[in-house]
Structure 1
Amino acid sequence: MGTRAVTIIDVAREAQVSRQTVSRALNGLPEVSESTRSRVLQAARRLNYRPNRAAQDLVRGRDVTIGLVVRDLRNPYYPQLASVLSRLAAERGWGVVLCDLGRDDADAEARLTDLLRRVDAVVGSVPAGLAGRGSLPVPVVALDTEPVGPDEPAIAIDYGPGIAAALEHLVARGRRRIAMVDADRTPSRRRLLYRAHLRRHGLAWDPRWEVVSEDTHSGGVTAAEVLRERCPEVDAVLVFNDVIAVGVLKGLTRAGVAVPGELAVVGIDGLDIGTLVTPELTTVAIDRTELARHAVELVAAALGSPADPAGGGRRVLVPTLVVRESS
């Protein structure tokens, strides 16, 4: 292993148990059999493992610091999530450090490395390849992305039911030519779900109705212009997220297009900004309080908290449709 510090992941692999079992065994929790505890302790000694301070702090009631990793803090989704996560962490006497990785992987590597020196666990999206992602020295709870490893805690977001509800709502309102504004040139999961629903229900689809936007408000304004020039026949649009959707609303207003009269708009994420525009934005909303609650519980379980002995594993969140004026 060279000079890299031995992690709890290494001990788990050596002892052929999960990381949660290693945490419980090292902290003397009763859920672990004596034979398993002995195997874990022997593996830790062989590898010269030094216990994670955070696991000991949890047992002793001391503070823990979580690092929340995001890709672009300009998107209000992340400040809103950070606010809820900070509140729930504070209820346990924990702190939260926010890390905006940005879009440059070289800078992201440095920022993540610095963060790992200051926190006991990470919540968020740690890109593959950064800081030896598979052997990070602290637990990582993956949010809406692939987990670090097969036994690692993660929270998946199942957009399928919410997107289906949005499209069914549009069809029920008489919309038959529904476009999609995506934030990825390679079709995102959200765009693939949009396509699959249209195909499954025999609804019209045209490749011209798929527009790629920058993941910004101004990108949404431009996307609205492209929609009107390329496919003026569409009567509804599903947008990758609420930030872009608010831009789409602005672009349509500038073009004199009545929303929802001529063209209905639906976003995804459920941000507060959707209620600050006119017309108010219909959205497929993610419950950020529930997301943060799952994250805190998974961190506690990964660190061996006696209060959360069985809280590890994978969680799934299902967004719901919130109908407002734009559709």
Structure 2
Amino acid sequence: MGTRGVTIVDVAREAQVSRQTVSRALNGLPEVSESTRTRVVEAARRLNYRPNRAAQGLVRGRDITIGLVVHDLRNPYYPELASVLSRLAAERGWGVVLCDLGTDDAAAGARLADVLRRVDAVVGSVTPALTGASQSVPVVALDVEPVGSDEPAIAIDYAPGIAAALDHLVARGRRRIAMVDSSSTPSRRRLLYRAHLQRHGLAWDETSEVVSADTHLGGVEAATTLRRQCPDADAVLVFNDVIAVGVLKGLTRAGVAVPEELAVVGIDGLDIGTLVTPELTTLAIDRTALARHAIELVAAALGSPGDTAAGGARRVLVPTLVVRESS
């Protein structure tokens, strides 16, 4: 195997140790035994491995750059996350480069390839392209399922939050609860919604569910569809806050009183939820905690002195119900 294309993953496989152990061994950190260090160094020599700039920077004090890979920067969730991540990275003297993949797969691949040449690690939602990126730089995956491999990742456990939201609606006397999802293939959030309704014997049929484009305009249209398709709905859980804001707008246009006639609950906890009337009830994801976990996992993956993946390589966050005027 030549110098070009040899990665820390290859060395870890050759030496039969973790990627983190390779970083620590090659950086001369004390957490690695001499026998393990020797095995790693010999494996690196056999493969003609050249340490990447991240490992060198951690030892020499050079700034590290993280790539934040997102699906669509027009969704306020991602700028809000980028803001927190950038501040936390700056506290370490690190920089952040944004990569908006968009919807064109070919263009997305080219954009990601360009970013990978300029960063030392990547944080982002799981995509096939991003999964492949883990062969060249450490990757911390966001919003994965709570179960899975030991690769660095932050899971969002929506089950307790969705249960809390639906229990809240039931406690307010709602019995016909609909769902607006963002894709025709049921999302994890929609499956949890169905399961909770079934467990509690609440009404459900196919008319209870509406699919929306992942935009506020999609939400406006979804509100119209919902009123036509499920006219007896007295509450709706919406895939995210962006769509939920559109649903509120569509209901207002149709003369539907919120929450008196129909309660609305979003997911994400975006600031825009407080800028509309009525203010949006939501399941809030703690983006400060999300960003902090991401930074810690990146530091551990890069073998930063004093940083280990305390708490494991997989972290779990649970959204919190924030009750406002719309429910």
Q: Same fold by TM (over 0.5)?
A: yes
Cα distance between partner residues in 2 of 1:134 and 1:104: 18
| 1:274-315, Cα deviation, whole Å (9 max, x unpaired) | 000000000000000000000011111111101213445111
| 1:192-237, Cα deviation, whole Å (9 max, x unpaired) | 1101111112111111110000000000000000000111101000
Instruction: Quickly say closer, same or farther: Cα 1:135–1:124, change in 2 above 3 A.
Output: closer
CA contact (8 A) 1:126 1:133 kept: no
TM-score, normalisation: structure 1: 0.96
Instruction: Quickly say closer, same or farther: Cα 1:132–1:236, change in 2 above 3 A.
Output: closer
Gaps of 5+ in 2: none
Letter of the aligned partner of 1:244 in structure 2? I
Q: What's the offset of the Cα at 1:29?
A: 1.3
- Aligned position for 2:285: 286
Letter of the aligned partner of 2:207 in structure 1? R
Count of aligned pairs: 325
CA contact (8 A) 2:3 2:48 kept: no
Cα distance between partner residues in 1 of 2:184 and 2:136: 34
- Aligned position for 1:17: 17
Letter of the aligned partner of 1:308 in structure 2? D
- Aligned position for 1:84: 84
1:111 is the counterpart of 2:111:
yes
Cα distance between partner residues in 1 of 2:77 and 2:323: 19
Letter of the aligned partner of 1:212 in structure 2? V
- Fraction of identical pairs, as percent: 84
Cα distance between partner residues in 2 of 1:44 and 1:150: 25
- Trace 1:164-313 onto structure 2 (pairs within 5 A): 164-311=163-310, 313=313
Letter of the aligned partner of 2:262 in structure 1? L
Q: What's the offset of the Cα at 1:2?
A: 7.0
Q: What's the offset of the Cα at 1:4?
A: 5.1
CA contact (8 A) 1:181 1:238 kept: yes
Cα distance between partner residues in 2 of 1:132 and 1:143: 12
1:62 is the counterpart of 2:62:
yes
- Aligned position for 1:6: 6
TM-score, normalisation: structure 2: 0.96
1:27 is the counterpart of 2:64:
no
Cα distance between partner residues in 2 of 1:233 and 1:310: 50
Q: What's the offset of the Cα at 1:61?
A: 2.1
Cα distance between partner residues in 2 of 1:235 and 1:215: 23
Pairwise CA RMSD: 1.7
| 1:8-48, Cα deviation, whole Å (9 max, x unpaired) | 11111111111111111111111111221111111111111
1:133 is the counterpart of 2:132:
yes
Gaps of 5+ in 1: none
Cα distance between partner residues in 2 of 1:168 and 1:102: 36
